[in-house]
């Protein structure tokens, strides 16, 4: 189900097409190299960016996930840490109420019928689990899974495009995500300008997770991405 942000992004893309000014920087040309090379280059580049070492990673266990359930748990921990648990009466340009980062329309679409202010963490987690399955994050290796899931929660349409364009390179994925946010804020500054810095901080948090995870696990071969389950 497209989010409001997806709809705005589509409008921005239509404007670019009409003006003949597509951003060529969003095209990712990946040479014919092995996933090992992609992995190594990706994490080396992340380290060069000077990613913070603590922001956005508090409370997240950076050991390799033992199974799909643990992978989801780690990814959800990041999302909930960023979204918080407070009821927001008017969340962004949608004008809808939200709780745990879940818009009322999304909650209804996934079967929640109660008042948003009464949504429990357990109910929110059940909705996020459905989003996890829809996003395809379960089939991705960690920490790419957390990057993609967090993006999907924000904008399903954007997440799918960025995964394809980045070919699973985390550094490229996050750069493309930041570029899209900058474009959206530029296209509708009155609506999205105030969110831009928060979006950038969220990306810094994801960079921190990827960097610390790589260091904690000595760039093990398990980090090759994109990789399918098994």
Task: Provide the pLDDT confidence category of residue 12 given band limits of 50, 70 and 90.
Answer: very low
Mutual angle of helices 144-154 and 196-216, in 10-degree steps: 160
Query: Has residue 36 got a pLDDT over 80?
Result: no
Q: If phi over 0 gives left and psi between -120 and 50 gives alpha, with beta otherwise, what is residue 31?
A: beta
- Closest among 30, 37, 42, 83 to 210, alpha carbons compared: 42
- Contact yes or no for 174/206 (Cβ under 8 A): yes
Best CA proximity match to 2, nearest among 105, 83, 79, 80: 105
For residue 96 the two structure tokens come to 């809808």
User: Which runs of consecutive H residues, i.e. helices, occur in 49-155?
Assistant: 68-83, 104-109, 121-135, 144-154
Give the mean pLDDT of the chain.
Answer: 77
Q: Structure tokens of 174?
A: 């996050």
> Taking residues 74-98, what's their average pLDDT?
86
Q: How far apart are CA 30 and CA 168, in angstroms?
A: 10
Dihedral sign for Cα 55, 61, 63, 64, please: negative
Reduced to 3 states (helix: H, G, I; strand: E, B; else coil), residue 169 is: coil
> Is the pLDDT score of 110 beyond 60?
yes
- Give the residue, 230 or 2, on which the prediction is more confident: 2
More confident residue, 24 or 189: 189
pLDDT for res 95: 78
Give 219's pLDDT tier (boundaries 50, 70, 90). Answer: low
In this prediction, residues 128-133 reach a mean pLDDT of 96
Q: pLDDT value at position 64?
A: 85
Q: For residues 16 and 118, what is the distance between their CA atoms, to the nearest angstrom?
A: 42
Q: Indicate the pLDDT class of residue 96, thresholds 50, 70 and 90.
A: confident
pLDDT in tens, 192-216: 898 899 999 999 999 988 888 887 7
Asked if residue 106 has pLDDT above 90, the reply is: yes
Which pair of tokens denotes residue 50? 């000077």
What pLDDT is attached to residue 149?
97
The answer to pTM > 0.75 is no
> What pLDDT is recorded for position 60?
75
Q: What pLDDT, on the 0 to 100 scale, is given for residue 93?
A: 63
CB 132 within 8 A of CB 77: no
Euclidean distance between CA atoms 209 and 147, whole angstroms = 9
């Amino acid at each position: 189900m497209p989010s409001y942000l997806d709809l705005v992004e589509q409008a921005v893309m239509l404007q670019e097409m009409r003006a003949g000014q597509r951003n060529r920087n969003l095209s990712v040309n990946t040479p014919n190299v092995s996933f090992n090379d992609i992995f190594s280059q990706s994490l080396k580049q992340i380290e060069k960016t000077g990613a913070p070492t603590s922001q956005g990673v508090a409370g997240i266990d950076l050991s390799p996930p033992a199974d799909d359930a643990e992978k989801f748990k780690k990814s959800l921990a990041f999302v909930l840490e960023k979204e918080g648990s407070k009821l927001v009466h008017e969340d962004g340009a949608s004008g809808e109420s939200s709780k745990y980062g879940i818009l009322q329309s999304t909650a209804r679409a996934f079967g929640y019928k109660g008042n948003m202010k009464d949504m429990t963490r357990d109910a929110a987690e059940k909705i996020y689990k459905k989003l996890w399955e829809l996003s395809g994050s379960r089939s991705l290796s960690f920490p790419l899974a957390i990057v993609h899931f967090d993006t999907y929660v924000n904008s399903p349409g954007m997440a799918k495009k960025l995964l394809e364009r980045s070919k699973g390179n985390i550094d490229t994925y996050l750069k493309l995500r930041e570029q899209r946010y900058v474009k959206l804020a530029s296209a509708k500054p009155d609506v999205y300008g105030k969110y831009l810095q928060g979006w950038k901080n969220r990306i810094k948090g994801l960079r921190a997770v990827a960097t610390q995870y790589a260091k904690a696990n000595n760039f093990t071969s398990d980090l090759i991405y994109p990789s399918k389950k098994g």
